[in-house]
Structure 1
Amino acid sequence: MTRTTPPDSPVHAVRAVRAVRLGPRSVVALALVSAVGVVFFGWPLLADSGSELTAHAGDAPWLFGALLPLLVAVVVATVADSGMDAKAVAMLGVLAAVGAALRPIGAGTAGLEPMFFLMVLSGRVLGPGFGFVLGAVTMFASALLTGGVGPWMPFQMLAMGWFTMGAGLLPGQDRIRGRLELAMLAAYGAVAAFAYGTIMNLYGWTIVPGMASGISFQEGAPLHENLVRFLAYCAATSLGWDLGRAVLTVVLTLTLGATLLRALRRATRRAAFEAPVTFEDPDRPPPGEAPHRPHVLH
């Protein structure tokens, strides 16, 4: 006897929550804040010898002053583009608090920082706009929690914002699920963990004096020579930390990622950030039409 599947069965429709989409205003706001960040991170490499611009430590207050209103602009633009309400901001606050609490767990231990795992998965579910704000706010909250407030803090906020935003920009939001998605997120987490460390090295490399001449920043030197010194600096000072961060992010993503992704998507759906996508079974009849019942053989 052939068993037929009822038309109301979940087999006929699979519901998935998409990450929050970027609208035109969100794109403009993110492009602006990213451009500001690139300038603040990268201009020492292009400054002439003797230029006052190479006093890199003195630009932190200016960057922090520019970053806060730009973060607000990203939130406002994303909310305006997608029609979200206060529940979205509340969810961001909860995730930022959890991320800030996770950071001290591995701080000072070979780069083992579990908050990066949470940022990858949250960025995937929330999308690039809110992912950027979540990363920056989480780093700000963790600095207050651990007493890590200093001239490096706005640079950490920008770097973590880019880290989380990148997860939201990964392809296949509506199609890639299961093990393939976890593998993609783990690979991104590994690469982005090294990228985060490299970006932060660019800040520290230009202001820390007394290093060996082969790896120290040389004001006014040709760009290619300073880049070689910078790569040597990264290998000598932070490679071990970046490796530990990458390995922990991969392990946590592959072992706990599926459970956390389901929880985040369920919370996002209940908060009504965006209507879920429904993948219809092509064999399911249109509404109001009697289902086709196959001939039953005994």
Structure 2
Amino acid sequence: MSEHHEADAGSPAGGPGGASGGAGAAARDRQAPDRQARAVRLGGRSAFALGLVSAVGVVAFGWPLLADSASGLAHSRDAPWLFAVLLPLLIAVVVATIADTGLNAKAVAMLGVLAAAGAALRPLGAGTAGLEPMFFLMVLAGRVLGPGFGFVLGAVCMFASALLTGGVGPWMPFQMLSMGWVAMGAGLLPGSDNLRGRGELALLAVYGAVASAAYGLVMNLQGWTYIAGLSSGISFVPGDPVAENLARFTAYWLATSLGWDLPRALLTVVLTLTLGATVLRALRRATRRAAFDVPDRPAPTAD
């Protein structure tokens, strides 16, 4: 009851605002929701934009394996830079989501808080064996707030952290897209309305481990083409058969990235299992109190 009294401290005791507001907040907190609130509900335009940028992203990451020797793309040294146009598309997804689903002030505020928290977490371990605690927060936030909010959060969080750490470059759009996929995938996991407790934590831990490792895998695929000039046994060879380039990439990933991806996945699992229950409760309480499904009403004006 102490939390409800603190929440009602802004209204006079016994006044109509304090009584009705406190009762409503208490009722929402006591109620076990069967249907989880979504801060952003994907509409037609935003879903199409999200699908489009994801499709372009798959091509952008996989072009070294997809391009044949006869294509100009296979012989282009500029292909990775050309795909950096993903950044405007990501921004377009955010704009389309806001325009199509009515991202209200409460959702914007939560987006800002979580993006700032994720951006602050990233530098804490990024220089030590790939340990990045921001992944567990993105997974839990995507789980609670849904795939649409999760994608926007992942992209904005990675953009903010790049500005914070000075990591701005042609790789940044790929990082934004990949982190958006990580958080969006958590929002698409089954049982969002009824799976709770240890079962949910186990599901999120497994997903977090896979997503954390997959993030490193796809980001290495994006950067792999840059070492073509080294002419080593793990370099990308434009136009070579897919099987040969895939074998070289696998060797490249094992040699350069696996030692970072596994600790990142392990840290995500540990944080999810130890702190996940507390963070999930806090996020769900915040979504209930924010009442995202209830549209904002303009303040009454004096006659």
Tell me what 1:59 maps to: 82
For residue 252 of structure 2, the aligned residue among 226, 233, 244 is 233
- Post-superposition shift, 1:216? 1.2
- Verify the 8 A CA contact 1:60 1:152 in the aligned structure 2: no
Q: Distance in 2 between the 1:24 and 1:270 partners?
A: 27
Q: Distance in 1 between the 2:98 and 2:107 partners?
A: 10
Tell me what 1:206 maps to: 225
Structure 1 segment 136-151 matched on structure 2, within 5 A? 136-151=155-170
Tell me what 1:247 maps to: 266
Superposed CA offset, 1:43-99 (max 9, x none): 23222447254523322542223322123213433x24xxx5211111111100000
Q: Distance in 2 between the 1:73 and 1:36 partners?
A: 17
Considering fraction of residues, name the structure with more helix. Answer: 2
SS of 2:282 mapped into structure 1: helix
In the alignment, structure 1 residue 163 sits paired with structure 2 residue 186: no
Tell me what 1:115 maps to: 134
Q: Distance in 2 between the 1:59 and 1:226 partners?
A: 21
Structure 1 segment 36-115 matched on structure 2, within 5 A? 36-49=56-69, 51-52=72-73, 53-77=76-100, 79-80=101-102, 84-115=103-134
Return 263-272 or 249-258, whichever deviates more.
263-272
In the alignment, structure 1 residue 15 sits paired with structure 2 residue 36: no
- Verify the 8 A CA contact 1:111 1:241 in the aligned structure 2: yes
- Aligned-pair Cα RMSD in Å: 2.2
The structure whose RCO (Cα within 8 Å, separation 6+) is larger is 1
- Post-superposition shift, 1:30? 1.7
Q: Distance in 2 between the 1:135 and 1:73 partners?
A: 16
- Alpha carbons of structure 1 residues 217 and 143: separation in structure 2 relative to 1, 3 Å: same
- Percent sequence identity is 69
Q: Distance in 1 between the 2:143 and 2:132 partners?
A: 19
- Structure 1 length-normalised TM: 0.82
Superposed CA offset, 1:199-256 (max 9, x none): 1011110122355633211100111221111111111110010001000000000000
Q: Distance in 2 between the 1:240 and 1:17 partners?
A: 40
**One-letter code aligned to 2:82:** D
**Gapped regions of structure 1 (runs ≥ 5):** 1-8, 276-298
- Structure 2 length-normalised TM: 0.80
- Verify the 8 A CA contact 1:55 1:207 in the aligned structure 2: no
Superposed CA offset, 1:9-52 (max 9, x none): 99x96335515254444432221121121122222322244725
Tell me what 2:48 maps to: 28
Tell me what 1:257 maps to: 276
Q: Distance in 1 between the 2:43 and 2:195 partners?
A: 22
Q: Distance in 2 between the 1:270 and 1:220 partners?
A: 56
Structure with greater Cα Rg: 1
SS of 2:170 mapped into structure 1: coil
Return 225-234 or 52-61, whichever deviates more.
52-61
